[in-house]
Amino acid sequence: MPHIHIKKDWEISDNLATPESAYMRRREFLKGTALTTAATVGVLYGCGPSSPPNFLPEVKWSELEKSIYPAKRNPAYKLDRPITVEKIAASYNNFYEFGTDKIDPVHYAQKLNIRPWTVQVRGLVNKPTTFDIDDLLKTMPLEERVLRLRCVEAWAMAVPWTGFAFRELLKQVEPKPEATHVRLETFYQPFTAQGQLAFWEPWPYVEGLTIKEAMNELAFLATGIYGHPLPKQHGAPIRLVVPWKYGFKNIKSIVKIELVNYRPATFWNTLQGLEYDFTANVDPRIPHPRWPQTQEKMIDTGDIRPTLPYNGYGDLVAHLY
């Protein structure tokens, strides 16, 4: 019988093994940025410094993706702060399917297979449709938007996302008038995403919006970041971006979208409703039992900034409430 080597969880997969030369070069580069910054961020946040990656997994581009990234930036979205250093954003992630430390997803999410990938749209729609991710990339009006993201844990980043307005997808399936909410669901693959083995947590990850929120121009489905396809740790191949809400509403690696006539149960709201409310609009006036909500820290520079109502997007969304 041939000897079959079954990889242990802590062994890196072959496609992650980096040649020593490339490793050294990247390490040189990271020394000045990621290492010092990650250490700074760790201290400022009061959490232990997590070990920064000595490499970043490469994002593979298909021929199709080469023809669409980078997409044209939409000048309507302006930042009040610098864009976050890419290597920090790509190694400081929340993706509980792949671990609870910020450094975990950059390593463990690489196990996720993102092709083929479909997004089922179901429920109260005239045209239930299963979209192939590559068909979406070919047909949707892709644009780049630079947007802030504010996690309820009081850290923030500002990144250029590539994707399309959520409402462009919803229009295609024709929501019925009785649909009041949209329910979005992440994949369920507990052998790949070992966080999902925690049977006391309500996997798969689910999030939800009202129809009005989902149809607002600011609700965005991202397929890329920093002018290239989304790395897996950021929620490839498609994730929600709702920048006026706390980070946890920005559900990653979506496989299903359902239009319903009830407020859906969501992952964090089910686990800990007092800490994570359904609506979850960024609001510095509402205190949180664990993290300060009046200020936020940028994950790369450690700069502290005041947190703004609706994360600064009130012009676009305040009328919804």
Ligand X SMILES: Nc1nc2c(c(=O)[nH]1)N[C@H]1C(S)=C(S)[C@@H](COP(=O)(O)O)O[C@H]1N2
Q: Report the residue number, 94 or 253, with the smaller CB distance to Mo ion.
A: 94
151 near Mo ion, rule: CB under 5 A: yes
Task: Supply the minimum distance, in Å, between the C-beta of residue 19 and Mo ion.
Answer: 35
**Binding segment toward ligand X, per CB under 6 A, in 38-46, 129-137, 242-250, 286-294:** 242-250
Contact yes or no for 220/76 (Cβ under 8 A): no
97 near ligand X, rule: CB under 6 A: yes
* Cβ-based neighbours of 51, under 8 Å, separated by 6 or more: 103
248 near ligand X, rule: CB under 6 A: yes
247 near Mo ion, rule: CB under 5 A: yes
Q: Which of residues 76-95 bind Mo ion (CB under 5 A)?
A: 94
252 near ligand X, rule: CB under 6 A: yes
Q: Report the residue number, 137 or 230, with the smaller CB distance to Mo ion.
A: 230
Q: Which of residues 94-133 bind Mo ion (CB under 5 A)?
A: 94
CA dihedral 237, 240, 243, 247 (to 10 degrees): -90
220 interface partner picked from ligand X, Mo ion, none, CB below 5 to 8 A per type: none
216 near ligand X, rule: CB under 6 A: no
**Binding segment toward ligand X, per CB under 6 A, in 19-27, 128-136, 169-177, 245-253:** 245-253
164 near ligand X, rule: CB under 6 A: no
Task: Supply the minimum distance, in Å, between the C-beta of residue 157 and Mo ion.
Answer: 11
162 interface partner picked from ligand X, Mo ion, none, CB below 5 to 8 A per type: none
251 near ligand X, rule: CB under 6 A: yes
**Binding segment toward ligand X, per CB under 6 A, in 16-24, 62-70, 172-180, 249-257:** 249-257
> How many other C-beta atoms lie within 10 A of the C-beta of residue 167?
17
Member of 93, 196, 223, 281 binding ligand X (CB under 6 A): 93
242 near Mo ion, rule: CB under 5 A: no
Q: Report the residue number, 92 or 248, with the smaller CB distance to Mo ion.
A: 248
Residue 206 CA to residue 285 CA, distance in Å, equals 26
248 near Mo ion, rule: CB under 5 A: yes
Residue holding tokens 């200020």?
295
Q: Report the residue number, 124 or 166, with the smaller CB distance to ligand X.
A: 166
Task: Supply the minimum distance, in Å, between the C-beta of residue 97 and ligand X.
Answer: 6
Q: Report the residue number, 59 or 151, with the smaller CB distance to Mo ion.
A: 151
Q: Report the residue number, 175 or 204, with the smaller CB distance to ligand X.
A: 204
User: 3-state SS of the chain?
Assistant: CCCCCCCCCCCCCHHHCCCHHHHHHHHHHHHHHHHHHHHHHHHHHCCCCCCCCCCCCCCCCCHHHHHHCCCCECCCCCCCCCCCCHHHHCCCCCCHHHCCCCCHHHHHHHHCCCCCCEEEEEECECCCEEEEHHHHHHHCCCEEEEEEEECCCCEEEEEEEEEEEHHHHHHHHCECCCCCEEEEEECCCCCCCHHHHCCCCCCCCEEEEEHHHHHCCCCEEEEEECCEECCHHHCCCCEEECCCECHHHCCCCEEEEEEECCCCCCHHHHHCCCCCCCCCECCCCCCCCCCCCCEEEECCCCCEEECCHHHHCHHHHHHHC
- Contact footprint for ligand X (CB under 6 A): 93-97, 151, 186, 205, 234-235, 247-248, 250-253
Question: Which residues of the shown chain bind Mo ion in the complex (CB under 5 A)?
Answer: 94, 151, 247-248
